[in-house]
Each structure stands twice: as structure tokens, then as C-alpha cells.
Amino acid sequence: MSKIRLCVIFGGQSPEHSVSCLSAASVLRNLNVEKYKISTIGITKKGEWFLYSGKYDKIENGEWIKDKKHLKKAIISPSSKDKSIIVFEEEKYRKIKLDIVFPVLHGEYGEDGTIQGLLEMSGIKYVGMGVLSSANGMDKAFSKLVFQSAGIPQADWVVVTADDIKNMDAVVKKVEDKLGYPCFVKPASTGSSVGVGKAKNRDELILSLENASKFGRKILIEENIDGHEVECSVLGNENVSASTVGEIIPEVEFYDFNAKYKTGTTKLQIPAEIGNDKIEEIREYAKKAFIALDGQGLSRVDFFVRYKDNSVVLNEINTLPGFTNISMYPKLWEAVGKKYNVLLDELIELGLKRVK
């Protein structure tokens, strides 16, 4: 039986470039080389595409781009006739035929429907959400509206734009009147807590709004939820399944980018110690959120469980969650008996079966 021709794409132009490299290295190390014929494309922070054939360690530490011996300029052909990587070699080019792409890309140009659109044009199957689901899932303001229509409880919110904050006094008053302090300020379309700030007063709100505006035009401000921070992994196309629920226990004030990936100041409790009934409620809400976005493939859905009344509140959905060795998505499945390599096989199979 011939091998499945798989391309893993990593890097990208978003602020989550380094996280993508960590995730991709972990994925590549766990793929079954007897089952897959693997090609690897790296995208630089400037948006250059290269076929990379070097060691996975260099992807992980970011040194791959300096490994000129193992780099060749390459693109995914937009022609549905090709279904190929086009590799440029001096004045010639060659094609590498593909069956499926695993875009291990987080954030802008990877998780927002853009590369999914390219792959749709190319006629190449891929792992994960489709174009519209990815775009809506990436934009926290839009996904709020989707989940609201599905009847899923959420934190209250305000949406403003970078243009709005030119009249900062009006924005501050709107936030104070509706949400009060503390509140969380987030760029609407980043992940991994990039650009997220917690504001306890007016001065911190202004600083957080100014910082968030550096990462995109639209900004989401949410009420503070005092509760357990829990996550649930979802897997499937038509038949959707949910993992157990895990709890994030940061040893800093909130679960920001550094706590997630740099400082190691976070503990994971799997399963979360919130009671079986609450775990089942969250699992059902996670599947409901995934289905509301017309999901296919995978997502991680994040919630709060309020301390005061034990009620569940949806935080956000991540349509291409982290796959590092400390990432919650694979760890939650591992906790219910699905090993990392088996999970990858299932995701690739779901991608091969995905329909528009």
C-alpha cells in the first residue's frame, strides 16, 4: 500500500510564529514514517516559503531558516490540476504531489481561513476547519455572535476598533458602564494570549487598549470571570467527540503568553477537579460550540466555571490549538487513552474525508 503524501506547514507571519515551530516539530516527530511520505514547508516571518529538509530540532529552536543547505524556495500550486508543491531549483522547477496538508500554523494567515482558502483552490485536502469556520473561529468578536445565537453562556463583552480608541474617553466610559473592573482586553484575532491584558483601573485599560491595537484593528474587551479556567478538546467531522476536561492553574495572575510557553509557571490538572457532572456539561457545550461553527477536524474549547455559583461560561474556541509537548489539546486526548501518534492519524484521516 502506497504512503499518504503529507505536507506539514509551519512558521508563518503571525506573532505566534515561534509557537507554530514548536508545534510542528512535535507533530513531525510523532508521525509514522511508514505510513506517510512527509514534505515540510516553512514560512518565514516575512512570508517567504521554503521546502525544508533538515532536522526537526532546527524547526523547534528557530534555526531552520539558517540551514541553507536544506532550503529550497517552494509554493503550493494554486492549480487544482497540480495538487502539488512547486519546488524551484535554479532555473528549473519540480513538483511534489500531495494528498493532504497539515497546516500547523497558529494565528493570522494560518488559522484564519486564508491558507485554507489557498488549499481549497488547490484542490488539496487538509487537516482542520474550513475557510468560513476558521475565519469565524479566529475572530473572537464574530464567534461571540455565533455562540450567542447557539444559546451558549459567555462572558459579557464590548467590541471596539483601533479607530474608536482615538476617542479614548468614550471607549473607556463604554467599558466602565457595561463591564467595570477588572476586565480583559484582547486583540480580536490573535491566539496564544498574544496582546492580552488585564485592566484593574482606567490607566491600565488605556494601556491595554493601546497595546492590543498593535495586533489588529478590532479589540474585544470582556468582563472578568472569577473561576476555574478549563479546556476541552474536540475531534470529528459529522460525528463529534469530546475529551475529558482539564484545568489550567497558572502561578501568575493570568494565563498569558509567557505562562503558556516560556516560564513554565503553569500547572495542568487532568481531569479538572470540578466534579463529573460539570465535566459532562462542559463536554456537551464544547461539542455544541464546535458544531455551531460548522466545525470539522479539531478544536480546543476554553471555559470558565464560576467559583460563586459553579456556572459554566464559554471563553473562546481555538480552531488550530497548540501541539507542543506541553499543549492541552493532545494531553486531554492522551488522558482518555488516545496516544499522540494515534491522534495525528485520526486527524489526517478526518482531513482526507472532509467535505465542503
Pair 278, 149 in one domain: yes
At 75 the pLDDT is 97
Among all chains, which residue has been given the C-alpha cell 453562556? 153
Rounded mean pLDDT of 242-254? 84
Pair 231, 313 in one domain: yes
Structural domain for 193, as ranges: 157-223
Whether residue 131 is contained in a domain is answered as no
Rounded mean pLDDT of 35-58? 97
Pair 174, 298 in one domain: no
Among candidate residues 126, 144, 176, the one where a domain is terminated: 126
Q: What is the signed CA dihedral for 56, 61, 63, 67, rounded to 10 degrees? A: -10
pLDDT band at 263 (very low <50, low <70, confident <90, very high): very low
Pair 273, 290 in one domain: yes
Pair 148, 188 in one domain: no
Pair 44, 32 in one domain: yes
pLDDT tens digits, one per residue of 315-335: 999 999 999 878 999 999 999
Split into its structural domains, the chain has a count of 3
**Whether pTM exceeds 0.85:** yes
Pair 120, 28 in one domain: yes
pLDDT tens digits, one per residue of 144-203: 999 999 999 999 999 999 999 999 999 999 999 999 999 999 998 775 567 899 999 999
* CATH number (domain holding residue 41): 3.40.50.20
Whether residue 41 is contained in a domain is answered as yes
Pair 287, 141 in one domain: yes
Cell of 44: 518565514
Pair 112, 144 in one domain: no
pLDDT tens digits, one per residue of 11-41: 999 988 999 999 999 999 999 999 999 999 9
pLDDT tens digits, one per residue of 334-353: 999 999 999 999 999 999 99
166/207 Cα distance (integer angstroms): 13
Q: Which residues pair with 346 in a beta bridge?
A: none
149/237 Cα distance (integer angstroms): 21
Pair 19, 166 in one domain: no
Q: How many Cα atoms are found within 13 Å in the side-chain-facing hemisphere of 165?
A: 23
Pair 37, 148 in one domain: no
Q: Is the pLDDT of residue 55 over 60?
A: yes
pLDDT tens digits, one per residue of 126-157: 999 999 999 999 999 999 999 999 999 999 99
Pair 266, 149 in one domain: yes
